[in-house]
Amino acid sequence: MRTDYHVHTERGPYSVEWLEQFIETARRRGVGELGISEHGYRFKQTRSLFANEWTDKKRTEDLDQYMQMVLDARKAGHAVKFGIELDYIPGCEEAVREFLASYPFDYVIGSVHWLGDFGFDLLEYRTVWEERDIKEVYNEYFETLMKLAESRLFQIIGHPDVIKVFGHVPDDADFLQGWYSKLAAHFKRYDQCIEVSTAGLRKPVQKMYPAPDFLSACYAAGVPIALSSDAHRPEDVGADYDTAIAYIRSAGYAHLCTFENRVRTEVPLT
């Protein structure tokens, strides 16, 4: 089984015809289970969960239309999973829990993209890195990731070290390893599944998420994984999966997680 649960269709209409382009790429690349997980900030229904000037400019879509695209695709015979990617913001847990109860998601990806008003992985905020201490940013990011795990709101922790997206990485192996071990133990304690993502290979950092030592720490702790591409275009579905599978196996993993009605199942990796 190969999966791709982190896929965004936002560059086209919420139509079956557009979605079928993603489905066709998945088929050609041997992806047996495809899930769509649009960014939550795009929908009018999520404004109460998190809003700032940047997200308000993007919040133009109707989540019900997005859901209908998936339902119509299923009626057309496509076995596609219904997901969403939500920004985790500390203090908004109850609002998120109430929101999630109102839609039949198969899974929800929880990601950290914002540290206060710092959208650290956005090109618009790239120069802000020059004003920040890298270790302090990493500490804040990883501490937020721990709170995300504690919330138990999400089925998948998205791209767990996306903080490195522009290549800003502390030059301190002990600092990073300490965090990797701490996070892995925390993920296990709160029964979390982390995402292995090929998206980093297409970003300035040009590396997989998570880093090898981070993935190894998660394997040692017994943390399960999901496999995704974070595709924003049809041609990126299942991108670099041969590299990804070799990467996953090198850490010791032989299973992936699948999801239905927010219930996790582990299946053999093939």
Query: Which domains are seen in the chain, by residue range?
Result: 3-268 (3.20.20.140)
SS3 of residue 260 by DSSP? strand
pLDDT band at 101 (very low <50, low <70, confident <90, very high): very high
pLDDT at 255 over 90: yes
| Model confidence at 237: pLDDT above 90 | yes
Residue 47's nearest CA partner among 5, 96, 81, 12 is 96
Question: What SS3 class is residue 132?
Answer: coil
Query: What confidence tier does 206 reach under pLDDT thresholds 50, 70, 90?
Result: very high
For the stretch 16-41, pLDDT in tens is: 999 999 999 999 999 999 999 999 99
Q: What is the pLDDT of residue 270?
A: 86
Identify whether 210 is preceded by a cis peptide bond (ω within 30 of 0): yes
CA 132: distance to chain centroid? 25
2 φ, ψ to 5°?
-120, 140
C-alpha distance from residue 20 to each of 24, 32, 68, 228, 239 (Å): 6, 15, 14, 18, 17
d(CA 59, CA 11): 14
Check residue 138 and give its pLDDT: 98
